[in-house]
Amino acid sequence: LEQDKDLITLISYDGGSRIPGARMGPTRLMDWTISRYPFIKNDYCFNELVFNNSPFDLVFKKIYDTLSEKVNKYERQIVIGGDHSISAPLIHMFVSKNKLVKKKLVIFDAHIDAFEDGTRIIKNWNFINYIVNEIDELLIVGPRDVLKPNYLPNKIKVISTLYMRQFSEKATKKIKIFCSDKNAEYYLSIDMDSINPSEFPGVSYPIAGGISYNLISQLIKSIIEKTDPKFIDLMEFNPLIEQSMSANALFFLFYSIITTKPKERREFK
């Protein structure tokens, strides 16, 4: 009877980041959430994975093995990280469990995590390189880093906030087009640093500017309503940097995601 429920997985891992602290994000979010919504653990299914300095190939395998067997047992899977390297096994799972249709990825991020350094170790700043060949199209919303990645294939589309005057209209329009593909399955990944650091300071690599909390929650709501993503992740909340304002903002975003139902439910193919 869990089939119509969401599975929420908390993944405590920040070995993919140069700055520690994101591993504490899930616990901090849950403390805050339970104080505002005490019965959440009755209404949703929870799952927890904790990694202490494990090598990433073990982290990758454990995440993949644990969550891929649950794919058809739950309506959706929502993952709270942890650093963004965790998205690599999740996207790999999304791809390998999806054999029939097009695979599209929407990432909200202040950075384009596609830096090539030849080390072959998945980090939060290069995970896109490891999954880009597996997916059909990728849209990154919100980057504003002056450091441009040294590898950016054509299938990656970018809506930067650097031209903020038209950003809201441009992003809304481009997301709408990207998300209206009836033959595609969608994966939605949210790096919390995509939000303006004045509203979400608790991230390891804040960059000035960015998407307002109101706009991002509006955009995410409409993406979920349109595409019914079976996998959503919320990454990079770092309570060691800031833990009150950010936990509160993340709680509202998380709550809005779990309570937003798509306009029409689709079966994961």
- Binding interface with Mn ion (CB under 5 A): 109-111, 191, 193
Least spacing, CB of residue 231 vs Mn ion, in Å:
18
Q: CA of 82: how far to CAs of 85, 123, 238, 260, in Å? A: 8, 12, 8, 23
Q: How many CB atoms lie within 10 A of CB 162?
A: 11
Q: Which residue number, 10 or 110, has a Cβ lying nearer to Mn ion?
A: 110
Least spacing, CB of residue 209 vs Mn ion, in Å:
13
Least spacing, CB of residue 28 vs Mn ion, in Å:
18
Element holding 222 (H helix, E strand): helix 213-227
- Give dist(CA 150, CA 169) in Å, integer: 29
| Residue that has been written with the tokens 């087009």 in this structure | 177
Q: Which residue number, 111 or 226, has a Cβ lying nearer to Mn ion?
A: 111
- Give dist(CA 72, CA 269) in Å, integer: 10
Least spacing, CB of residue 255 vs Mn ion, in Å:
22
Q: Which residue number, 128 or 184, has a Cβ lying nearer to Mn ion?
A: 128
Contact 191, 109 (CB under 8 A): yes
Q: Which residue number, 33 or 85, has a Cβ lying nearer to Mn ion?
A: 85
